[in-house]
Structure 1
Amino acid sequence: MKHKMSILFYVKSSKAAKNGLLPIYQRITINGTRIELSISRFVEKSKWNTAAGKMKGNSEETRLINSHLDILRNKAYETEKWMINNNQEINAQTFKNKLLGIEEKTRKLIVIFEDHNKKMNELVGREFSINTFKKYETTLSHTKEFLKNCYSINDISIKQVDIAFINDFDYYLRNSKNCNNNSTIKYIRNFGKIIKQCYFNGWIDKDPFLNYKGKVREVERVYLDQEEIETLLNKEFKIKRLDLVRDMFLFSCFTGLAYIDVFNLTKSHIIIGIDGEKWISTHRQKTESASKIPILPVTQSIIEKYEKHPQCLNENRLLPILSNQKMNAYLKELADICEIPKELTFHIARHTFATTVTLTNGVPIESVSKMLGHKNLRTTQHYAKVLDKKVSEDMMVLRAKFEYKYNKIDKSLKYSHKI
């Protein structure tokens, strides 16, 4: 964002005219890059003061040329002042264009961001989910506030977005917006997508994100254990909305489907699998990955319970699920009634499927990953890290094997430990 400028007038001997006069040039150096301009004036070599960068003497010719040099110098400084006052990026090319009156199309960050979001909105439901669109809208809002609060401007040239700008935005999100680390990184990544598009379009010379070091921290995933699942299964609710919310949550616990994927289910998603049993076959809206899940007894019971529900019949839905906002609000009420000391959200059901329902019961991680619709096995491995119980059970088997093996060894046998 900062710049350094110097101005020098000199004569160029290599371009001497036939009459021996030397042309005078103006050299403007900005951040080490030179701009050289002929001023269309000529002078005798003996009359030029190289150290002072002007003509010697007091003649009328000297007065006129030196006055012209002062006018050109002042014009350069006025151009610099105007660009600073108008938040223009100052480099050799932009300065030269402004000085000479050459119009350059300035691409503005907010204009580009708004155009991106407009196109994304038009593709909601086909290429993007409404939640993804809302995240980019929030990022745009934060970007506008950042420019206004920190730079007192409404927009900025994309060429002025550098690593210092990105780091300042990162700090603003953490400090002024009170975003935690992972939320900050996600907003910065959304912002980064806009900048990378500008780079790939050739609108900027380099990607300023190459030196950005932000990193998402792994967070502990909350899930229900077997006892808590059974509490939900066995609890009787007289209030219909809580009964329905419990059923929808358990459906996700035994299928691993996210809220939006449960919401989108229809009867056509039920197929007969290779084992002759009923399966759910769908695509995750978030990643568009195929997801095929065998229907477990609990899952089947819930499907049958609601197959005649008016909402299912009228709207061609497999289940009458409420809005995600209502589901999460009622789940907190559900947790209090069932005395589950965890802040329940619908997404916890997906974590529960990955841990308590599948991995803990010996389902291979590759199979779990496929059912969850993960594109990368490393995503599923995050769930495996929290299964201390499973590690304990596996080690108990190993411990038993070692005890059986070494009990056969003669107890009189002695080991020597040498390094």
Structure 2
Amino acid sequence: MKVKYELVFDRKKEIQKKGKGLVQIQAYLDGARRYFSTRLHLTQKEWDDKKNTAKDPYTARMLREKIGEFENFEIHYRATHKKFSLDDFKHFLKSLKPAKKVDALSFTEFYRQQLAKQPQLAKATIVTHTVTFNNLCAFKKQVEFEDLTYSFLQDFDIFLRKKGKHINTIEKYHRHLRKYINLAILHDLLAEDKNPYRKFKLVTEPTDALFLLPEQRKRIEMLEFTPEQKELEMARDMFLFSCYTGLRHCDSYALTREKVVFTEEGEGLKYQSIKTGKWDYKPLFLLFDGAPARILNKYLPQRNKVRIFKGMSSQKVNKLLKIIAVMADVDPRLYFKASRDTFGTNLYMLSGDAKLVQLQLQHSKREQTDKYVHAIEQVQNEALKKIFKQNSPPANDGGAESGQD
């Protein structure tokens, strides 16, 4: 259960004596409450009882940001420790205390603190930054600021390659690490001319979107499983559900009964994207002749908080998809993101409307959608080559003699 936060004004009844009351943050979880000071004292006239916040918009915004710091610490702590209680806020409060000596603060400790101090980051972003942090600590348990050199980046890069990380994944880790090095520079913990990324080049390689054509998707749909293969069947169904809806793995994995909308026409899905924070509605009964609605009903739990695709973590479902790919005779590289790319390409094949695909996938830029347009154009070009190559007349090898009787 997530902590519930709200502002509390003058809980200690100080206005009558001092003329101002303290604004506190109340954190509620499992029947327990904790109160944390914002160090902000306001008069009764400065407080809006109806909206339960400060009347001044800048002060109100500052209070929201303070609550955001607590929320982000909770998200990071849960991602790292898999559990959370109100007592764990002691670690957050400890991180807010200024270091007695700047040189006593390591870069890894600074990175960890900053993860909890960025309310603007989406939950999914915090998770990916935490993964980078964990890989950094696996390479070197404690990184000091003086360790941050060009050679350090080279060795970290080699370490990630030896772990089998894809070159684009390594580039992503470097971008995250560079972000926190730049933050350290802004906090005057590292001189700007000491930034090791000034000379270190980030390398990526182009990747083709892996997607399934309708006949390939059909082969996966037609697979049959034994009672002992329930995990394979759920992984297949979760993958197909995303092929029909375009949901990312994080959103599919977070699905619960309370996000399902039941109408006279059929089931719909109302959810907030974990990555973008945008709200969306999917009419499941309309998409692909109601196929996603049938999958949903197959696994729909009775209780609201239970995950529909329980246990299907990213690592697990990707491992099972490799087995499914062999069974269905499709690309053996099959992974979950291919379901979203399959949705994009299939929807463009059916509609020819790139704007519709962009809206359905919540792409902020048209360039993100264009890869599906280009992929379908490439498929069509290959098909045309085969057709006209088969139907073209044979070449005349007779030369000049062919014109003689």
Q: TM-score, normalised by structure 2?
A: 0.57
- For the residues of structure 2 that align with 1:136 and 1:218, how far apart are their CA atoms? 25
Aligned length: 279
Change (3 A) 1:375 1:175: same
- Equivalent residues in 2 for 1:116-195 (5 A)? 116=114, 119=116, 128=125, 130=127, 132-142=129-139, 144=140, 155-157=143-145, 161=148, 164-165=150-151, 168-169=154-155, 171-173=157-159, 177=163, 179-195=165-181
Which residue matches 1:217? Answer: 205
Structure having the higher Rg = 1
What's the offset of the Cα at 1:135? Answer: 3.2
Change (3 A) 1:170 1:238: closer
Whether contact under 8 Å (2:124, 2:275) holds in the other structure is no
**What letter matches 1:326 in structure 2?**
K
**What letter matches 1:161 in structure 2?**
L
Q: Percent identity among equivalent residues?
A: 19
- Equivalent residues in 2 for 1:19-418 (5 A)? 105-106=102-103, 107-116=105-114, 119=116, 128=125, 130=127, 132-142=129-139, 144=140, 155-157=143-145, 161=148, 164-165=150-151, 168-169=154-155, 171-173=157-159, 177=163, 179-206=165-192, 208=195, 209-239=197-227, 241=230, 242-271=232-261, 279-295=268-284, 296-298=286-288, 300-304=290-294, 306-307=296-297, 309=299, 312-317=301-306, 319-324=308-313, 325-355=315-345, 357-389=346-378, 391-392=380-381
Change (3 A) 1:379 1:334: same
What's the offset of the Cα at 1:345? Answer: 2.0
Task: For structure 1, list consecutive stretches of 5 or more residues without a partner in the other structure.
Answer: 1-102, 146-153, 400-419
Secondary structure of 2:201's match? coil
What's the offset of the Cα at 1:257? Answer: 0.7
Change (3 A) 1:243 1:165: closer
Change (3 A) 1:394 1:366: farther
- For the residues of structure 2 that align with 1:326 and 1:174, how far apart are their CA atoms? 21
- For the residues of structure 1 that align with 2:259 and 2:161, how far apart are their CA atoms? 46
Secondary structure of 2:297's match? coil
Change (3 A) 1:361 1:195: same
What's the offset of the Cα at 1:255? Answer: 0.5
Change (3 A) 1:132 1:363: farther
Change (3 A) 1:105 1:169: same
Change (3 A) 1:173 1:346: same
What's the offset of the Cα at 1:188? Answer: 1.1
- For the residues of structure 2 that align with 1:183 and 1:278, how far apart are their CA atoms? 37
Whether contact under 8 Å (1:279, 1:294) holds in the other structure is yes
- For the residues of structure 2 that align with 1:367 and 1:298, how far apart are their CA atoms? 15
Change (3 A) 1:335 1:168: closer
Secondary structure of 2:175's match? helix
- For the residues of structure 2 that align with 1:178 and 1:302, how far apart are their CA atoms? 35
Change (3 A) 1:109 1:363: same
What's the offset of the Cα at 1:121? Answer: 12
What's the offset of the Cα at 1:256? Answer: 0.8
Whether contact under 8 Å (1:360, 1:387) holds in the other structure is yes
Change (3 A) 1:394 1:370: farther
Q: TM-score, normalised by structure 1?
A: 0.55
Change (3 A) 1:281 1:104: closer
Secondary structure of 1:282's match? strand
- For the residues of structure 1 that align with 2:305 and 2:298, how far apart are their CA atoms? 11
- For the residues of structure 2 that align with 1:365 and 1:129, how far apart are their CA atoms? 31
